[in-house]
Chains A and B, each alone.
Chain A
Amino acid sequence: MLDVRGLAVARGGVPVLEGVSFRLSAGAALVLRGPNGIGKTTLLRTIAGLQPALAGEVEAEAETLAYASHRDGIKATLTVAENLAFWAEVYGRTVPDDVWEAFDLHDLRDRMGGTLSAGQTRRLGLARLGVIGRRVLLLDEPTVSLDAASVRRFAGWLAERHLGAGGVAVIATHIDLGLDAPELDLTPYRADPHTATGGSDEAFL
């Protein structure tokens, strides 16, 4: 479902990773490891198509990728329910009822986005993934500011509802989610920062 071949990525024009290859079939997850600054976020953003790759290819079915960054895209002046409804609408879907249960948002439905705590905002940001129905999830530090119970809840949702239903996930994280997934340490793929990137990426536009 997701096939990454020889991907080289750059951050701010400096190459950070090269030769990254992996393939994920339905129901599989991959955990990205590596020290801060190794390029986990850059790799995920490149796979998501937000920035051009220096080399290599990303192959995925059209319109299956979803990217979740450090920031959740939650509007402070909309309620929790309105926030989720907005994202469902953008993806042409409706908010499924089980999302409230899965991310423990029942009691927060009518609260304003801006009044949520960091952990609650994060739960809402993750609930967005349950709403949009994309099959390939690119998760960048999904558990930041979550408490232990919420981490377990999210890992449970990921394993059962997403991977169990044939989805795929690439997760950059420093903690153990308790998922039965292979890990990919990015340290060996570190690129020589002095390689000139050259060329223009106008084709990306």
Chain B
Amino acid sequence: MLRAIVAEQMKLKGNRLLFLCSAIALTLPAILVVNVEADAIGWVYRLQFLCQFFLYPILSSFVITFLIQKEYADQTIINSLTAPVARMTFLGAKLAVWLIWYLLITFGFWVIVSVRITLVFDVETLLESWGTITAMILKTGILYFCAMSPIAWIAVMQRKMFYLSLLAAFLMSSAGFAGLLTHGMMGSIVPWFAVMLLNMPNGDVVASVAYASIGTCSAVGFGLAACSFQMQEL
């Protein structure tokens, strides 16, 4: 698996799409103007709203779609699998790169947010709210990654196509916003609603059901991707 991940890293040399996605993901939270009337937590939440709840899921779908779709489009998947590389190793390496990208962007977002809190508020505010902010950002990043897992399955199934997984990502992140209109059990059952509600201050959500639905979504998404890829005729 480690060899496959290193090979993935070698493939990404001079890759413009990944660079562009990363640049957008890190530039936007740095330049976005957010109302400073709110307290630090509220301020971070507003920044998260656009970046972590909407932009990052879509950008991350670009990343995983690109990682998988290019292999089909360039027909490099045949050379890779006949190298030979086990199909699960091949897919696992892609998912690992996707996760690493997501975590790095989340980390970058956390750094930018921390710096901006220092500038907009002060160092004391940052130190006071550091734990809460870190937990908020990390939780959102991880939960959204899990909730977006069906994108991996769609990317495998769509092969050379590109737009289907992007459309699905758009719908999933939009569904998160629709979740703001729901509450209680309804908001907890649908994983994309649940991610949003779990991160809302005082969100009306049944936490155990919400985590279970996100976990199930993740297992189903990655499971379907693995099964589909294992059985796929090339």
Q: Do A and B bind each other?
A: no
Q: Taking beta carbons and an 8 Å cutoff, which residues of B are in contact with A?
A: none
Q: Taking beta carbons and an 8 Å cutoff, which residues of A are in contact with B?
A: none
